Structure formats: C-alpha cells, structure tokens
Chain A
Amino acid sequence: MATQQVVAGRQRRTEAPKGLDMVQYRIVKALSTPTPYLTAMGVGLWLFTYWVLCEGLEVWRFTKLPGPVAISKDWFSPEPFQGISIFTQEYYQHIYVSCQRIAIAFAIATGVGVPLGLFMGWSKKVRDYAFPLLEIFRPIPILAWVPLSILLLPGFEGPVIFLATLASLFVTTLNAMLGVDSIDDDYFRAAGCLGSSKWDVFKNVVVPGALPYIFTGLQISIGVAWFSLVAAEMVSGDLGLGYLIVDAYMNNVTVPMVIGMITLGFIGYVTSVMVRIVGDKLMQWQVRELAQQDR
C-alpha cells in the first residue's frame, strides 16, 4: 500500500497520504493560501502597535504600562528585575495553585452538573421540580455570592473554589439538559421498540445523544470557571494568578501584572482545547462524519 510521494505537488495520488506525508501535505497546502501570511501580519501589526504606544513613541498614558520589550526581558531572564520570570519558582507556584483550584471546581461542577442536567432532561418530574429553582438562582451574578461565601465557608480555598464551581455548575447543568432535549424523539422510540429498559435508554440514548451539547457546555463552563476564579483570587488575596495580578498592581510592579494576564490567557486557552480534545475522543462518530465531508 505505497502512497505516492509529493514531488512539487505534481504527482497524481491514488490514495490519501498517511502519517508524515499527510502533515507535509497539509503544511504545503496551508502555505499556499494567504491565511498564515495574514495571521503573521496581524499579530505583527498588533505587537508593533503595542510597542510603539508603550515604548517606542511613549504615547500619552501608555507609558504607565510595560511594553513588549520590557515584558520579554523580565519574563525570560533568570534574574527578573520585577520578580517574576519563567525561571522563578514563584511563577510556577501561582500557576499551579490556580490550575489546582480550577481542576477541583471543574471536576465537582461536571460531576454534579452533568448527571443532574441529564436527569432533568430525561424525567419531566425531575425537571418540573428542579428547573424553577435553577432559574431563580441563575440570574444572580456569581460575584454577588462573594461576601456570603466568605462568611459561610472556612479558609481561603473554600470560597474561591465554591465560586468557580457555582459558575460552572449552572452552565453545565443547563447544557446537559438542553442536550437531552435535542435528541430526536425517533431514537427514543427505536430504543423502546427494541425492548430497552429505562436504564438501557439512559445509557444508550440519553447519554451519547446529549454528549455534543454537554461538551459545548463544558468548554463554556471552563471559561466561566476561570472568570470566577480570577475574580475570587483578586478579592481574597492568597496565591494564584489572579492574586499575582492584583499584588503586582498594589506593589507598583507592572511587568508581573502583564505576565500574569498573558499566562492566564494562555492557560485558559489550553484548558479549553483540552476539553475539546476529550470531547472529540468520546464523540468519534461525529469526527468521522465531518471528516467524510472534508471539514
């Protein structure tokens, strides 16, 4: 089953390229479109503007903020001027603490929210009782819970994790419920015809059928968890990336502040991608169907 090698794209293929050939093919193909060049241009333009405003021309109040040069100098140096770089242990401590909190919050929210949402979608009875309560609590912004959670829960970690969990929980539950709603009636009927018990229906129709919505919900919920976590960390003052940002601000060192922001953005993005990858793994049937359509 030999595949033809790409020779300046001239050879005809009889089979789809595999493995390394496929990677090569994709790269060559991508480079022939304007997209990567535009992206480079866009990012370059943005970085340039940023530099010009903060360091190059020192426009107006932009001087108060650190420019890209100042940031990279500190971030990548073993002896950072303002205290945080990829070489300092403190940096990783903050990252670790925030990530740990997110992991706990996300795990609890998913572990409670998904089953709850699935039951709410599946059983009208459960939904009739639970949904009104959910809808009453949902409009209350997460941050409004801050004072109450500080008073009711012990220590520092408690309120912080509680807030992130709560935010995620609402999103996850709602999406799981909507996921069950989205399942075509015919699948339930087919399962019934085939002699399924209620539990069979739950395992074989409700859970897989709701998965797409569940994972969309999980991607949103992890974003929301980060949002709430940062807010809580900024207010409750312990460790963590949110705290790093506020602390740097308080101590007038702006570089760690921006490093914190960038790191947050990056890690937030990575966690979101991780959720998506897990989703793709579990929903092979969707991935393969889309591949058929060459998407």
Chain B
Amino acid sequence: MGNSTVQKRSKLSKMLRSTELRRGIMAIFVFLVIWQFGALIDDWTGYDMLGIGLVPPPIDVLITWGDVIPNIGYWQSWVSSFQRVLAGFLVAMIVGIPFGLLLAVNKYFRGIFFPPFEILRPIPPLAWVPASLIFWPTNEMSIAFVTFLGAFFTIVINVLGGARAIDVRYLRAAQSMGASQWHLFSRIILPGTLPSIFTGAAVGMGITWEVVLAAEMISGGGTQGGGGLGFFIWSSYMGGSLEHIVVGMISIGIAGYLCSSSIRQLGILFMPWRRLF
C-alpha cells in the first residue's frame, strides 16, 4: 500500500540521518585527524607518537596519488595484478568446483582422494613458491600455480561442506517425484551448493590477492609491463618513497574490495532466494 517512491526516498533520508552513519563518519574523520596530526607533530617536535608520525600523513598521500594517477604505468599495474588474480582464480574455480562436488557426491571418490587433499591443505600456499619456481619453466606459470593452489583448497572445502549439508529431504522429495540421478544433481545439489560456492569464492579471492601480491613482491613482477601492484609497492619501498607505498596499499585494498564486492553482487544475482552476508 502507498507509493513506493515516497517510501524509498524517506528510507534514504532516514539512512542519511541515522546515528550509525554519523558515528561511522566521525570515527573515520577522527582517525584521519590523528593520522595527520601524528605526522605534523613529528615534523615539529621529532616525537613520533609510537610510529604514527613516521607514516606519511593523509594529505601527502593524496598529493602523491594525484601525481600517480595520470601515470599509465600505475594503471598497467592494476591490469597486470587483476589479470593474474583472475587467471588463478578462474582456474581454481573450474577445477575446484567439480572436484568438490565429486567428493561430496561419490563416497568412494571421497574416500580415496580426500585424504591426500587434506594432507596437502595445511601447507601454506606461499610455501609452495620455491618448489613452484623450480618446477615451472616460466615465472608467470609459477605464480599462476601458487595462486591456483591458494584458492583451490578453500573453494573445494566450501563446496564439499555445502553439498553435504543439503537437507536430504529435498533429495527424497525429488526422488519420490521420479527424478533421475542427473536431474537430482543439476536441479538440487548444484543450486543447493551455490551459497557455499560463493562463500568459497569470496574467501578464495582474498587468498588469491595475498598470493599474487607476495609473488609480485618476491619475483619482481614478471615480463608484462607494469609488473603488478605488488611490484609497485615493492619498488616504492626500494625507492624509499613512503607515500607511494601507502598509495599502493590503498590501491590494493580498493582492488580487493572491488573483487569481493563483485562476487557478492553476482551471488545476489544468481541466488535471488537468498540474502548474502
């Protein structure tokens, strides 16, 4: 009942006036002020307030960022990192989801292949980097492999958990209506696992970024132009520019957030019947 536009408008204005938003903005504002002041106090008195003063203040960071944005190398770094992240992530999804589903659905497959999987899983992905560098002929392939590993384990575990948790009543209901095995799989197990697939994807995405970053910082960026955001940070460190380091950090934070956000949006698109976290 009533006009939805009026309701929407009042909802927005209600949100803008809400205490929650005000407090959040105040907290961020206070944080920025302390940050800025820390640096200023360090400049004036040499007292660095537990290290806050050593970090370049927000204003300087913004100025540096302004300088960096027109530089095409900066944006090429974005592209390089994104490419690596997506490549590793997509392969992990393509291999991981079927593997996870197979593990969930067939108990013999699970009995045989799950133990080796569980033995390898606790090894941190970055520990694989040297071995990967030895094995794969090129740098890029080594990075891709480690990226893949990082996301793969997470995705499989989430898919497995999700598929196993599907209420057996849904399956029984379908069976009693005469569903075939394939039908059971495609119409019940697959959609039922979707939430876990997306959770696994979101977490796996975070891990992928970490690994790509580490790989870029360690291996010096590879052959493509730009070398990636990790390389950007590392070379800023080498060059001694703290402002650039912070710019790099914030850039990566934004990039990572965009990726997780997209996954969440896709999740809402694919699963209209659920509200994701």
Query: Do A265 and B119 touch (CB < 8 A)?
Result: yes
A257→B250 contact, CB < 8 A:
no
Q: Which of A46, A124, A132, A147 contacts B234 (CB 8 A)?
A: A147
Question: Contact check: which of A43, A153, A230, A231 meets B116 at CB < 8 Å?
Answer: A43
Q: Tell me whether A152 and B51 are in contact (CB under 8 A).
A: yes
| Distance from A104 Cβ to chain B, minimum over Cβ atoms (Å) | 18
Partner of A139, one of B28, B108, B260: B260
Neighbour of A42 across the interface among B111, B130, B249, CB < 8 A: B111
Q: Given A34-B108, A148-B55, does the pair A132, B28 have CB atoms closer than 8 Å?
A: yes
Any chain B CB within 8 A of the CB of A106? no
* Contact partner, A62, options B113, B135, B237, B254, Cβ 8 Å: B135
A132 in contact with B112 (CB, 8 Å): no
Contact with A along B195-210 (1 / 0, CB 8 A): 0000000000011011
Which A residue's beta carbon lies closest to that of B206? A141
Q: Is the CB of B134 within 8 A of A234?
A: no
Q: B185 contacts the other chain (Cβ, under 8 Å)?
A: no
Cα of A6 to Cα of B246 in the assembled complex, Å: 68
Residues of chain A within 8 A of B26, CB atoms compared: 129
Number of chain A interface residues as a range: 35 or more
Asked if A283 lies at the interface with its beta carbon under 8 angstroms from chain B, I say: no
Q: Which of A43, A130, A136, A151 is B119 in contact with, Cβ under 8 Å? A: A43
Closest A residue to B118 by CB, please name it. Answer: A269
Q: Is the CB of A129 within 8 A of B214?
A: no
Name the distance in Å between B48's Cβ and chain A's nearest Cβ: 9
Q: Across the interface, do B236 and A147 meet the contact criterion of CB distance under 8 Å?
A: yes
Cβ–Cβ contact A261 & B126, under 8 A: no
Q: Which residues of A contact B256 (CB under 8 A)?
A: 139-141
Number of interface residues of B (CB under 8 A): 63
Q: Are A132 and B127 in contact (CB under 8 A)?
A: no
Q: Are A261 and B111 in contact (CB under 8 A)?
A: no
Distance of A38 Cα from B116 Cα, bound (Å): 11
Q: B213 — which chain A residues lie within 8 A by C-beta?
A: 141, 143-144
**A144 CB contact (under 8 Å) in B20, B248, B260:** B248
> Known contacts A129-B24, A144-B249, A230-B126: does B116 contact A249 (CB below 8 Å)?
no
CB distance from A248 to the nearest CB of B (A): 7
Residue of A nearest to B136 (CB): A61
- Shortest Cβ distance from B258 into A: residue: A139
Q: Digitize B240-277: 1 where CB-to-A-CB distance is under 8 Å, 0 elsewhere.
A: 00100110111011101100100000000000000000
Is the CB of B94 closer than 8 A to any CB of chain A? no
Cβ contacts A205-241/B at 8 Å (1 or 0 each): 0000000000000000001001100110011000001
A interface SS class: helix
Closest Cβ of chain B: how far from A102's Cβ, in Å?
A: 12
A contact residues around B23 at 8 Å (CB): 125, 128-129
A226 to B127, CA, bound (A): 10
Q: Is the C-beta of A71 less than 8 angstroms from some C-beta in chain B?
A: no
B116, A139: Cβ atoms closer than 8 Å: no
Provide the A51-79 mask, 1 if CB < 8 A to any CB of B, else 0: 00000000001101100000000000000
Bound CA–CA A265/B124 (angstroms): 7
With both chains docked as a complex, state the minimum distance between the C-beta of B273 and any C-beta of chain A, in angstroms: 22
Residues in B neighbouring A146, C-beta threshold 8 A: 217, 233
Q: Which residue of B lies closest to A39 (CB)?
A: B115
Q: Mark A232-276, 1 if CB is under 8 A from B, else 0.
A: 001100000110011011000010011011101110110010000
Residues of chain A at the chain B interface (Cβ within 8 Å): 34-35, 37-39, 41-43, 45-46, 61-62, 64-65, 124-125, 128-133, 136-137, 139-148, 150-153, 223, 226-227, 230-231, 234-235, 241-242, 245-246, 248-249, 254, 257-258, 260-262, 264-266, 268-269, 272
Besides A128-B19, A264-B124, 12 new A-B residue pairs in contact (Cβ under 8 A), listed by A number: A38-B108, A61-B137, A62-B135, A64-B135, A128-B24, A144-B248, A226-B124, A227-B210, A249-B131, A254-B134, A265-B122, A266-B122
Top 4 nearest A-B pairs (CB, nearest first) are A38-B111, A249-B130, A147-B237, A128-B23
Sampled A-B contacts (17; CB under 8 Å) = A34-B111, A35-B111, A38-B112, A45-B116, A46-B119, A61-B135, A65-B134, A125-B23, A133-B27, A133-B28, A143-B214, A143-B217, A227-B125, A231-B210, A257-B131, A260-B127, A261-B128
